[in-house]
């Protein structure tokens, strides 16, 4: 007898709870592929992803606890605290990856196949990512830059905010976050104003008129430095007459600033103090002057009369 073709297949509503669990169990335990004679199922992949995400969040949590609560009790340098907490995060993530592979029953020797595929991918287009990752590790261990340093990279001046696996975040003096690849700090010249010593040598150029009294000019600039509370008095400031310009003596006031991050505000403060002090001592800051000489620009009167006569005779 032929079966009725119009008979519908059983749906999920027709199955009992035990049959549903059996169906899902068979689905999750179905072998998708084998890696080094180890069957990989949908369940093992889900468990692997769960453990991987869990250890990633655990690494970030450990990093925040160490950087914000534990390490500040023992280490004052914020850059060193960040390096230790970041490396601890990487260690937790690596341990989580190894545990995840072991939990799902994947032999670590079988990962050689995966690394072989990755090496091919690196050869075709992941060189920059690998270079930035290795550079990030070098930056963390060697510490040419640290969190909070004032740096100048690619003509961008700012403070280092965070050092990540691939890139470093620099917040410019205009409060703009700039993402800089880590390889830039290894392969190119980077100016680190805060490396080793946060003090900064600030040089202020100012021109005075040639008719000024030099001793009064030196006195005025020395008073500007001595009356300022924003600069260091050790090392002592210096006032120099560096060169003779076209319309002025080119003076330099050299001072030392305790924190390089404040040198723009201190420069503004000292410039205003110089203007006020020069006005008090009647010292002139000249405008640029140029002398223009005209040679044979105006014709002589005899030549003009001769040209007029030639015109009349021509008529």
- Please give the helix or strand (H or E) that residue 63 lies within, else none: helix 42-65
Backbone angles phi, psi at 41, to 5 degrees: -110, 170
Backbone angles phi, psi at 179, to 5 degrees: -90, 115
For the segment 40-90, what is each residue's pLDDT rounded down to a tens digit? 677 777 777 888 888 888 888 888 888 888 888 887 777 778 778 888 888
Residues 94, 157 within the same domain: no
Question: Percent of the chain scored above 90 by pLDDT?
Answer: 32
Please tell me the least confidently modeled range out of 5-19, 84-98, 199-213, 240-254: 5-19
The C-alpha atoms of residue 296 and residue 293 are separated, in whole angstroms, by 10
Residue 11 domain flag:
no
Q: What is the average pLDDT across 153-177?
A: 89
Residues 148, 245 within the same domain: no
8 Å CB contact between 240 and 251: yes
| Residues spanned by the domain of 104 | 18-125
For the chain, how many residues are written?
Answer: 315
Residue 65 domain flag:
yes
Higher pLDDT, 37 or 176: 176
Global confidence as pTM: 0.62
User: Which CATH number do you get for residue 220?
Assistant: 3.30.70.100
Residues 110, 187 within the same domain: no
Residue 307 domain flag:
no
Question: Percent of the chain scored above 70 by pLDDT?
Answer: 71
Backbone angles phi, psi at 244, to 5 degrees: -110, 110
Q: What is the average pLDDT across 216-242?
A: 93
Residue 285 domain flag:
no
Residue 150 banded pLDDT, cuts 50, 70, 90: very high
- Give the per-residue pLDDT at 9: 47
Report which listed range, 26-30, 34-38, 100-104, is most confident. 100-104
Residue 160 banded pLDDT, cuts 50, 70, 90: very high
Q: Report the number of distinct structural domains present in the chain.
A: 3
Residues 26, 119 within the same domain: yes
Residue that finishes a domain, picked among 171, 192, 213: 192
Residues 188, 208 within the same domain: no
- Please give the helix or strand (H or E) that residue 160 lies within, else none: strand 156-163
- Give the per-residue pLDDT at 5: 46
- Give the per-residue pLDDT at 1: 42
For the segment 266-282, what is each residue's pLDDT rounded down to a tens digit? 999 999 999 999 999 99
8 Å CB contact between 202 and 254: yes
Residue 69 domain flag:
yes
- In this predicted structure, the answer to whether residue 139 has a pLDDT above a threshold of 70 is yes
Contacts 24+ apart (CB under 8 A), 150-158: 150/192, 150/193, 150/194, 150/260, 150/261, 151/190, 151/191, 151/192, 151/193, 151/194, 152/190, 152/191, 152/193, 153/180, 153/184, 153/185, 153/188, 153/190, 153/191, 154/180, 154/184, 154/188, 156/180
- Please give the helix or strand (H or E) that residue 238 lies within, else none: strand 238-244
Residues 169, 236 within the same domain: no
Residue 185 domain flag:
yes
- Give the per-residue pLDDT at 106: 61
Residue that finishes a domain, picked among 72, 96, 125: 125
- In this predicted structure, the answer to whether residue 172 has a pLDDT above a threshold of 70 is yes
Residue 310 domain flag:
no
8 Å CB contact between 185 and 145: yes
Backbone angles phi, psi at 13, to 5 degrees: -70, -25
Residues 151, 76 within the same domain: no
Residue 292 domain flag:
no
Q: Give me 26's structure tokens.
A: 């068979």
Residues 121, 158 within the same domain: no
What are the Cα distances from residue 11, in Å, to 8, 14, 27, 74, 85?
9, 5, 16, 64, 53
Residues 174, 209 within the same domain: no
Burial class (CB within 10 angstroms; exposed 0-12, middle 13-18, buried 19+) of 163: buried
8 Å CB contact between 143 and 134: no
Residues 88, 182 within the same domain: no
User: Which CATH number do you get for residue 185?
Assistant: 2.30.30.60
Mutual orientation of helices 78-103 and 42-65 as an angle, nearest 10°?
A: 160
Residues 182, 206 within the same domain: no
């Amino acid at each position: 007898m032929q079966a009725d073709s119009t008979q519908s297949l059983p749906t999920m509503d027709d199955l009992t709870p035990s049959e549903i669990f059996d169906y899902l169990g068979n689905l999750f335990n179905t072998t998708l592929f084998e890696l080094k004679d180890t069957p990989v199922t949908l369940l093992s992949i889900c468990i692997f992803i769960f453990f991987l995400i869990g250890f990633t969040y655990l690494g970030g949590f450990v990093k925040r606890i160490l950087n914000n609560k534990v390490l500040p009790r023992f280490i004052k340098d914020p850059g060193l605290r960040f390096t230790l907490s970041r490396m601890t995060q990487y260690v937790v993530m690596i341990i989580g990856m190894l545990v995840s592979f072991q939990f799902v029953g994947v032999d670590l020797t079988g990962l050689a196949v995966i690394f072989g595929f990755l090496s091919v991918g690196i050869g075709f287009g992941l060189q920059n990512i690998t270079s930035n990752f290795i550079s990030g590790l070098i930056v963390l261990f060697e510490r040419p830059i640290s969190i909070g340093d004032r740096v100048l990279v690619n003509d961008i001046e700012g403070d280092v905010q965070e050092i990540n696996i691939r890139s470093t975040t620099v917040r410019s003096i205009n409060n703009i976050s700039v993402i800089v690849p880590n390889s830039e700090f290894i392969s190119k010249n980077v100016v680190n104003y805060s490396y080793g010593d946060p003090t900064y040598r600030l040089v202020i150029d100012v021109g005075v008129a040639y008719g000024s009294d030099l001793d009064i000019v030196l006195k005025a600039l020395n008073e500007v430095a001595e009356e300022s509370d924003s600069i260091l008095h050790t090392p002592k400031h210096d006032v120099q007459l560096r060169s003779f310009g076209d319309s002025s003596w080119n003076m330099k006031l050299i001072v030392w600033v305790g924190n390089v991050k404040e040198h723009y505000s201190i420069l503004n403060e000292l410039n205003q103090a110089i203007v006020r002090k020069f006005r008090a001592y009647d010292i002139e800051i000249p405008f640029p002057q140029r002398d223009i000489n005209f040679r044979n620009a105006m014709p002589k009167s005899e030549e003009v009369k001769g040209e007029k006569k030639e015109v009349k005779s021509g008529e």
